[in-house]
């Protein structure tokens, strides 16, 4: 017993053996992977910055963009002052615009697409009383009842060709039927929304606004580095533990620290965002300008054409921008104009429950100036904004369809294709 105790005390007081030359060499070796990891991160950051056209007003596209000179934006993406744009980007649908702005196909981008399809005449949205109150259904506090929405396919489709992901939404919505309740889509429709999201990503790539999938982590170099560094770190740790146990020598500690720091740097910052092309940056700036316009618009300053557009084509963009509340306030202000019914154009795509029966939004607005008191369910001018609050409730309800709880292999949320085994993720 005395012998064991003496050996333990001798072990405890034995001086640590440190080879200074080994420490210096280990420190230099530890700096090598750390420096390489830092270089990888720097190159990835440089290549992950958006492109911007040279010597051109931000938001404009040159006549020959393929040959136009371009440079990388500072800080990753263009961040200058945005001038209001009085119209949305031409020939770009709201959901696509929302995806280009931040590189993410959010739930409200797909909701904006559904509203846009209704505005364009593919189906009508009819507000109805819910068959049973549910957390997934909106509540109309103004009329004191739980709400649901029916989507009714129009007898004559518009004379246009929808995009691939729009056609997917339409086909999966109706599946051979002419009417479907939004609440009936809960759960089964989530996978369709994931596919629609993939379609949004595919469109922004196919149209040349992103160099690749906007949500790709671009971590191939990082993965290779980790494959090399992890075994080296384990070997260094094993050697150091052996030296400490046998000779109390911790000279290789700097090498192990350098390898571990390199692993942390690569794991945390080794991937990078997919950059926008110069064309994509220009579209983003245009979209930000239009969002600024909608967010700050005042009815008294709008021209006739702009007021008319507020009541027809701008609502889906407001949904994509998350501005439906402000949009409803604009409509309330517009209703105070004695000539406001002159602005109504093509608003028969949304019906709301008006007491004894459904009242078409288009009929309600166009006939409001002549017989406001006869319109069941409309309580003075302020209910005009309430109609669009109903649209806001519809978009909130569609957003709730995008829950992936209980679906295996798809992860959660709208973060791209990570963990989701669906065709079209790899493009």
Q: What is the reported pTM?
A: 0.73
How many residues belong to the chain?
427
DSSP string covering 241-254: HHHHHHH---TTHH
**Residue 309 token pair:** 């557009």
pLDDT for the residue 360 = 54
Regions of the chain short of the pLDDT cut 50: 1-2, 4-16, 132-144, 355-357, 364-383, 404-416, 418-424
pLDDT for the residue 352 = 66
Helix, strand, coil fractions of the chain, as percent rounded to 5:
50, 10, 40
Query: Burial, 178: exposed, middle or buried (Cβ in 10 Å; 0-12, 13-18, 19+)?
Result: exposed
pLDDT for the residue 220 = 67
pLDDT for the residue 367 = 44
Q: Which residues of 116-155 are buried (b: 16+ CB within 10 A; e: fewer)?
A: bbbbbbbbbbbbbebeeeeebbbebeebeebbbbbbeeee
Q: How many CB atoms neighbour CB 81 within 10 A?
A: 6
pLDDT tens digits along 117-145: 998 999 988 888 876 444 344 444 344 45
List the Cα angle 288/289/291 in 5-degree steps.
65
pLDDT for the residue 250 = 73
pLDDT for the residue 137 = 47
pLDDT for the residue 65 = 87
Q: How many CB atoms neighbour CB 246 within 10 A?
A: 9
Q: Which long-range contacts (CB under 8 A, 24 or more apart) does 418-424 make?
A: 418/215, 418/217, 420/194, 422/191, 422/194, 422/195, 422/198, 424/195, 424/198, 424/199, 424/202
């Amino acid at each position: 017993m005395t012998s064991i105790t003496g050996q333990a005390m001798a072990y405890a007081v034995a001086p640590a053996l440190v080879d200074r030359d080994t420490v210096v060499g280990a420190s230099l070796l530890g700096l090598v992977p750390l420096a390489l990891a830092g270089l990888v991160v720097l190159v990835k950051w440089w290549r992950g910055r958006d492109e911007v056209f040279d010597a051109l007003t931000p938001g404009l596209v040159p006549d020959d963009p393929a040959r136009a000179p371009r440079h990388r934006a500072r800080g990753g993406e263009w961040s200058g002052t945005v001038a209001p744009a009085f119209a949305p980007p031409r020939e770009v649908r709201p959901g696509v615009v929302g995806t280009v702005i931040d590189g993410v196909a959010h739930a409200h981008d797909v909701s904006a697409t559904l509203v846009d399809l209704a505005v364009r005449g593919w189906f009508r949205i009819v507000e109805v009383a819910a068959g049973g109150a549910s957390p997934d259904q909106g509540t109309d506090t103004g009329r004191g009842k739980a709400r649901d929405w029916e989507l009714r396919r129009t007898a004559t489709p518009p004379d246009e060709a929808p995009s691939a992901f729009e056609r997917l939404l339409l086909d999966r919505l109706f599946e051979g039927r002419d009417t479907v309740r939004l609440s009936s889509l809960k759960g089964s429709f989530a996978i369709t929304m994931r596919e629609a999201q993939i379609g949004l990503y595919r469109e922004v790539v196919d149209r040349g606004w992103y160099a690749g999938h906007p949500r790709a982590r671009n971590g191939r170099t990082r993965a290779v580095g980790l494959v090399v560094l992890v075994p080296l770190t384990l070997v260094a740790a094993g050697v150091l533990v052996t030296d400490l146990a046998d000779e109390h020598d911790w000279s290789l500690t700097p090498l192990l620290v350098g390898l571990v720091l390199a692993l942390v740097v690569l794991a945390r910052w080794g991937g990078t965002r997919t950059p926008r092309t110069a064309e994509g940056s220009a579209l983003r700036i245009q979209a930000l300008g239009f969002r600024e316009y909608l967010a700050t618009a005042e009815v008294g300053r709008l021209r006739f054409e702009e007021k008319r557009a507020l009541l027809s084509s701008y609502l889906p963009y407001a949904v994509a921008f998350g501005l439906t509340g402000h949009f409803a306030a604009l409509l309330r202000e517009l209703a105070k104009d004695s000539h406001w019914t002159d602005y109504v154009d093509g608003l028969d795509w949304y019906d709301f429950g008006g007491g004894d029966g459904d009242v078409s939004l288009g009929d309600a607005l166009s006939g409001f100036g002549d017989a406001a008191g006869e319109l069941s369910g409309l309580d003075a001018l302020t209910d005009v904004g309430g109609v669009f609050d109903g649209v806001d409730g519809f978009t909130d309800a569609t957003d709730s369809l995008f829950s992936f709880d209980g679906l295996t292999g798809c992860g959660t949320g709208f973060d791209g294709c990570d963990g989701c085994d669906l065709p079209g993720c790899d493009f």
